[in-house]
Structure 1
Amino acid sequence: MMTTKKKIVFIANPISGFGTSARLNHIIDKNLSSDLFEYELYFTKRPGHAREIAAQAVLENIPIIVAVGGDGTINEVAYPLLGSSSTLGVIPRGSGNGLARHLGIPLNSAKAICTLNKAQEIKIDTCMLGDNFFINVAGIGFDGQVSKTFSQQKNRGFLIYAKCILTQFTNFKPILLEIKGKNISREGKYFVVAAANSSQYGNNAHIAPAASINDGFFDLVLMKPFPLISLPQILTKVFLGKLNTSRFVEIFPSKKVSIKLPQHFPVHLDGDYKPDLLNFDISINASSLRVLVPAQR
């Protein structure tokens, strides 16, 4: 008895480290079950191209659309899939891979492709910051400024990102803002304001240790200004997943909050810098995206 093979479209960021399409084709051919799937591979050619390819794949009713790259590439590929019958797959190839780490997707490309053969489908929440879509984490404040600086660098990678963090830390001044929501009302200066749908930025740096990606809430993380002497302790808590125990941090599970800034300020969405914003809402879109994750044993 013949079974119909499922179609998969792979959408790869050309700076994701594979070098050539032939190399990625070889890895897919070696690890993706040819009995279950037939696939097409596309490399993006410009910013926004991944979204265009994904949108066309949705129109063609492709059941599985796989983002090959970092959280920014995943963001582009995922947006056209919202509310559709298409399911997102992830092959992490970014600097931090926050979403993949949270979902338990292997960072090794061959292993990540292998998981597609026996993956399970789940529904996850997604978020909006104003008119801008994000899945993992959006940030205003210090991390928004770091993202802006990182976007201006010629080279990418974790070491360059770490350098941007150190450079901005000595220059950054906490921002004054007003935050209102159902269970929160705050006005003051903050070092970081992050909306975390998952638990981490990437590289196991946990900004919201208790965040769940399918509970119908994002975690609003407010970090107050802190003295330099407290930096090692805060970083330790970040990488141990205990930032919620810091006296400088408040975390509020939220469905919607409104934020007002006295001046335009940089924001990042899933690690990618967006032009400076002023006033906006952050909201959750519960169970809006189908995603493939490793099957539970």
Structure 2
Amino acid sequence: MSRDWLTIHEGSAPLVIGLPHTGTDIPDAVEARMTSPWLARKDADWWVDRLYDFAVDMGATTVRTAMSRSLIDVNRDPSGASLYPGMTTTGLCPTETFDGEPLYRPGQEPDEAEIAERRATWFDPYHAALQAQIERLRTGGPVVLYDAHSIRSVVPRLFDGELPQFNIGDNDGATCAPELTQAVEAACAVSGSSLVVNGRFKGGWTTRRYGRPENGVHAIQMELADRGYILDPAGPVSPDNWPSPYEPARAEEMRQHLRRVLTACIAFAETAR
């Protein structure tokens, strides 16, 4: 299959940005088995690739998949083990949305053979690309892997109440040096918006897989509540109000905050070098 779905921009700064959930592509044969094209794309990290598009001008490397997380979630443990034992989450090839709605018509869910094929076709190449970019930059010293995400502010099935604006995850300090987490937290605090470190989101499989600070790879996840850059409906979403369109004017303030965050990531890595 063509790799048109995988976009890699190589930069020279010691920063790799993963964009695992911004894609919405689904093969026609799979979409035909799903309950709704809208549901299949409902939980995308809407517009995050556009929100961070300034990063390439900062010298960052970006790795993005265009495939929908409903097809294959490249930020889940391929073994099927839950990243958050005892808590509601979605799997490698999800069969329901964050709100618990079924993604497939009865009896049309992917079996083990299909899951293995999807992994080989999309999951493995995405991670091979991430690994290659990390190794390319690590020849010059420590590197930061920044995994970029967003989610609706209110998803009762996943968490109580309204999510903080900035959700920073380093898996309880395991995936990067504390100085990096502190620098990212300080950059977010300037905004005056709510933030948390290792709250509901501590970092997905990407952060946990690559974060090896003892080997010079410092991984951190940023989960934004998307009210910070688009109109986020307060109640249940529907095809009539979701996804909200990207509004450059509304998003500009958030982009300035994120520029500070990425600047802090680069400064940390350059100081470590």
Report the TM-score when normalising by structure 2: 0.24
Structure showing greater Rg: 1
